[in-house]
Amino acid sequence: MTMNYPLKGIVFDLDGTLVDSLGVTFAGFNHALTSMNIRAHSVEEITTHFGTGEDQIFAKLVGKERAQEAYSRFQRYMDENVNRVPLHEGVAELLKNIHQHQVPTSIFTGRSWNTTETILRYHGLLNSFVTIVANDHVALPKPSPEGLHLALSRMKLTPEEVLFIGDSPADLIASRAAGTQGVAALWDHLADQQLLAPHQPRHWASHPEEIWTLWEQLKQK
C-alpha cells in the first residue's frame, strides 16, 4: 500500500493543467510551419515531442537551421493570441484558495520561459508562485525530474511533502522519479486516462476543485 505523507506544497504543470492552451499552441505551431511553406502537422505529430521546449520541438520538425525562425514566428503568434488561452474552469478558485491559505506553490512546465511569461502575465499570475521552472531553466527536459528538484529546492521542501499535478505521461514520470505525490489531472479535453494509468499516479483529479479537497485531506496539521 502506498503511503501518503502530510503535504506542505504544490507544484503545477502549466499547459493542460492550469491553462487551456493546447488548441492555441497547436495552431501556433502550424502557423509557424505553414508560413515557412512547411506542411501543417497533426496534433499527434506535435505532441510526440512534448516535454521539451518549443524551440527544441521546432528543431525536430524543421531542422536546427530553421528552428529559430520557426520559434520566433510561434512566439509572435502566442503573443498575439494569448487572449485565447484561458485558465481552466475552476483554476482561478483553486489558486485563490491556495494563496489565501499561503500554501507554497510553484510551476514546472515543459514550455519555454518566453511564452510561459506571456501567458502568466496576461492572467496576472506571474508573481503568484514561489518559483516558475520552464524548459529553458534545466539541462534535461521532462520526463526528467530535474525541474521538479529545482522547484523543490527553491521551496525548501522534500519530495514527499509536495503534490505535483500534471496531465501528461511526462509529468507523471517526472513526479515518480522525483518522489513527489503525482496527481493525474483529467480536466483538459485532451487528457487521456488510459494513457496516464500505466504511470501509476498517486492520485487522480477530474476537476481543479478536487485538488483543494485532496490538499485538505493530506496537508500538514
- Reported as a single tens digit per residue, the pLDDT across 65-114 is 999 999 999 999 999 999 999 999 999 999 999 999 999 999 999 999 99
Average pLDDT in the 182-186 region? 98
Nearest residue to 105 (alpha-carbon basis) of 130, 88, 126, 137: 130
The amino acid that residue 17 corresponds to is T
Phi, psi dihedral angles at 15 (to 5 degrees):
-70, 125
Q: Are 182 and 166 in contact (CB under 8 A)?
A: yes
Residues facing 106 on adjacent strands: 11
Distance CA 198, CA 86 (A): 29
Q: How much of the chain exceeds pLDDT 90, in percent?
A: 89
- Res. 1 pLDDT band, cuts 50 70 90: very low
Q: Are 174 and 148 in contact (CB under 8 A)?
A: yes
SS (H, E, C) the chain: CCCCCCECEEEECCECCCECCHHHHHHHHHHHHHHCCCCCCCHHHHHCCECECHHHHHHHHHCHHHHHHHHHHHHHHHHHCHHHCCECCCHHHHHHHHHHCCCCEEEECCCCHHHHHHHHHHCCCCCCCCCEECHHHCCCCCCCCHHHHHHHHHHCCCHHHEEEEECCHHHHHHHHHHCCEEEEECCCCCCCHHHHHHHCCCEEECCCHHHHHHHHHHECC
pLDDT score for 50: 84
The predicted model scores a pTM of 0.92
- Reported as a single tens digit per residue, the pLDDT across 105-161 is 999 999 999 999 999 999 999 999 999 999 999 999 999 999 999 999 999 999 999
Q: Mind listing the domains of the chain with CATH numbers?
A: 9-20+85-218 (3.40.50.1000), 22-83 (1.10.150)
